[in-house]
Amino acid sequence: MELFLLSNSRTHGRAYLEHATEEIEDFLGGRRLVFVPFALRDHDGYTATVGAAMRPLGIEVTGAHTAADPRDLVRDAEVVFVGGGNSFRLLSTLQRTGLREVIRERVEAGELRYMGSSAGTNMACPTLRTTNDMPIVQPESFEALGLVPFQINPHFLDADPGSTHMGETREQRVTEFLEENDVPVLGMREGAWLRVSGRKAALGGTTGARLFARDSEPRELAPDADLSFLLETRPKFDA
């Protein structure tokens, strides 16, 4: 499998995907791209944004929503990019259209490269249970694509010791998840990404990540860390 999973698509002060342009160009390698815009409501506008970002790289972008059956486009694609937005809306649409099965099958067979950002990165996990989003719709289940056997929390925020906010920190929310589910959670800060190639996985970007596991202290991960060991995870989820 070939996966490129971004924590975020927008970084403060930079254009859409600009913070990862070189890595994206290397991952795409000039291949045609089908964009899955279903995490946002404005499919045409979202696809146009991605098209503008890919144009300088010479990448042709087609929106999955432009076909009567989006599966037809994905079956012929070389790369699929699943964009961010609301994870519940995205997963619900992937399930309803049958895209979840088609994407999973072709990526696992090595026929299709998968690129995701934010909610699209959540989709690469076994479930969406570590998303940050509000459940604005109800999917058939929480089962996502399962391209990696561990969970990711995109946009991970470190606790601010000077904050007066009384709500849970992101680390507390992840800890609650681990009380009910025995599977590692990779908290990727904005500006970080994960590159998977076969049985190799490496952390990229400039901001690093935090790795959480049941009954263990959180582990700080520097950029370029080798995370291949996470691909051997055997997740155990609460029913």
Q: What is the pLDDT of residues 27-60, one digit of tens each?
A: 999 999 999 999 999 999 999 999 999 999 999 9
Q: What is the pLDDT of residues 227-236, one digit of tens each?
A: 999 999 998 9
Domain 2-232 sits in CATH at 3.40.50.880
**pLDDT for residue 194 is more than 80:** yes
pLDDT at 48: 97
Residues known to be catalytic: 118, 133, 155
* Predicted confidence band of residue 239 (pLDDT cuts 50, 70, 90): low
Mean per-residue pLDDT over the chain, rounded: 95
Cβ–Cβ under 8 Å, residues 34 and 62: yes
pTM above 0.85, yes or no: yes
Domain residue extents for the chain: 2-232
Q: Is the dihedral of CA 98, 102, 107, 113 positive or negative?
A: negative
**pLDDT for residue 164 is more than 80:** no
